[in-house]
Amino acid sequence: MNKAPFAAALLLGLLLPLAGGAAGAAAQTDRNAVLNIAYGNRPGTLDPYLTTNNATSDVDRNIFEELFVINDKFQPVPELVESYRVSPDNLTYTFNLRKGLVFHNGQSLTADDVVASMNRWLAVSTQGKANLPGARFDKLDAYTVSLTLKTPSLITLNILADVKNIAAIMPKSIIDRAQGDKQPVTELIGTGPYRLAEFKQGEYLHLTRFDGYIPRQEPASGLSGKKSAYVKDIYFRYITDESTRLAGALTGEYDLVFNLPKDNIDQLKHAPGIHLYAPASGGSLITYLFNKQTGPFADIKLRRAFNLALDVNSVLVAGYSDPQFFSADSSLGFPQQVDWYSEAGKPFYNQHKLDEARALVKESGYHGQEVVIIATKEYAELYNLAIVAQQVLKQIGINSRLDVYDWPTVLQRRQDPKNFDLCALEFSMRQVLHQYPFLDSRAHFPGWSNSPDIDGVLDQIKQAPSLKAARPLVDKLHVLTWQYLPVIVLGHTQPDIIAVKNTVQGYDDLIGPILWNVRVNKQ
């Protein structure tokens, strides 16, 4: 396993300017500040139930709150829940809600809103369908709800605290107006510290402080604890061109700049007026995702042939330029996730056996069909991986074409199995492996996995008496994943470095930006 974490010297170089030192601490907070964010990718939908995409969750975590969220140790802890208990058979969770909370429209939050929201989330989200099948929420009284499971699960609270398929609590009236599994809600109204002021598709999204917000009082930790909206307005500016984002970081046009071009990180380290923030945890799985429902890669032999052919280190360098930005790794889990990390799939990884791959193509049912690779230039690294995939396919005798769209169109087109056969995707680090939507057939995630063996071992892990007891099953899951190949795991990204203007204080990140508790100093 090739580990390539940031070198200690590099991290020191990136992080020394943080917070502007003592002078920054003494500066006065501007309560009317506007936080301008240069963001590289546009959301296809803002409905948190219908997508796991970062461009949606990075916005929605400011608008909505959940029953549970994760702290800085990736542990699920209460957010809208005041207290809870679990029945002796581990099938019923009873949640006592916090009282006195209001939505952005002034309506009080009650059990009716929670039950409506969570039952829709269970029905339409990939997390609900895959990991809590047959579960339901019921109202016990105005501020108490129950969750009833079909079978006990070790990871129930982790699933409720998912950071990407957010189990957002909305007013019941909005849920009642939502029609169908794939139709988004018509309004975004939550109880979070910021409310949606305006969304101009493709250009910007404007959040403004919700003055009726009632925070928890515990110290802030990860996504949990006290949230203070010090900044009045937040603008996500959708800047899809890398050079424009880079220029905005250098000139100070933007307060935060995401999706920085990796070749220019060294240039930014010494730029005046900004510092670089490297998140302490996070990162993403780097994958090739197959359409397994129809088309050439419905044949497992062809998936295995493509995997056999890959020279993973060359692929990753082509996509991410430098090993400081990635680690080559076969595991679904990250090394710091001791309960989920496994090298059991390593024998199937990075084999680079072109002759064996060509022979397997001939054994398969492939007869010259064109493989459609879907891609976008809005994610430069993933576009580069798509180019490499096309080259590798050619080397083993498989015809292909590259269909390039903007990111929202990619998200829309990949819903239909007739539209693509292969794409490069990153999946943000999750608390538990069950949260990766490409694994479980019940998630119905694009790619359409259908492995009863994988489904079965996922269920066995959930039903194990402890994570320690589930350890052999985690290894088994990795082997089954490499044998079935819902995706090819190429490795892990290091968390993306973010350019932060020196007037911005208190920025933090946990699988996405944490914008509450951020201050902007008066200049």
Nearest alpha carbon to residue 53 among 139, 165, 141, 135: 165
Tell me what the mean pLDDT of segment 285-314 comes to: 98
Confidence of residue 267 (pLDDT cuts 50, 70, 90): confident
Closest C-alpha to 158, from 431, 462, 463:
431
Q: What is the mean pLDDT of residues 487-516?
A: 96
What is the C-alpha separation between 332 and 433, in angstroms, rounded?
7
The domain spans of the chain are 8-278+497-520, 284-493
> Two tokens at 32?
């009317």
- In the chain, the percentage of residues whose pLDDT exceeds 70 is 95
Write out pLDDT tens, residues 20-55: 433 444 578 899 999 999 999 999 899 999 999 999
- What is residue 2's DSSP assignment? B
Q: Which two tokens stand for residue 492?
A: 């892990």
Instruction: Render pLDDT for 142-176 as a digit per residue (tens, 0 to 9).
Output: 999 999 999 999 999 999 999 999 999 999 999 99
* pLDDT at 13 (0 to 100): 38
Pairing of strands 487-493, 326-328: antiparallel
Query: What does the pLDDT average to over 308-329?
Result: 95
Q: So what's the pLDDT on residue 25?
A: 45
Paired sense of beta strands 34-39 and 256-257, if any: parallel
Q: What is the pLDDT of residue 492?
A: 97
pLDDT mean across residues, the chain: 92
Among residues 408, 409, 403, the alpha carbon closest in space to that of 387 is found at 403
Read off φ and ψ for residue 69, nearest 5 degrees: -135, 175
Query: 8-278+497-520 domain in CATH 3.40.190.10?
Result: yes
Task: Say if CB 255 and CB 500 are below 8 A apart.
Answer: yes
Give, in order, the Cα–Cα distances in Å from 444 to each of 70, 130, 131. 25, 8, 12
DSSP string for 139-152: EEETTEEEEE-SS-
Q: Which residue matches tokens 């905005």? A: 248
Residue 230 to residues 169, 197, 199, 515, Cα–Cα distance (Å): 23, 17, 21, 9
Contact assessment for residue 246 and residue 260, using Cβ atoms and an 8 Å cutoff: yes
Is the Cα dihedral 219, 222, 225, 231 positive or negative? positive
Determine the CATH number of domain 284-493: 3.10.105.10
Residues 232-261 have pLDDT tens digits of 999 999 999 999 999 999 999 999 999 998
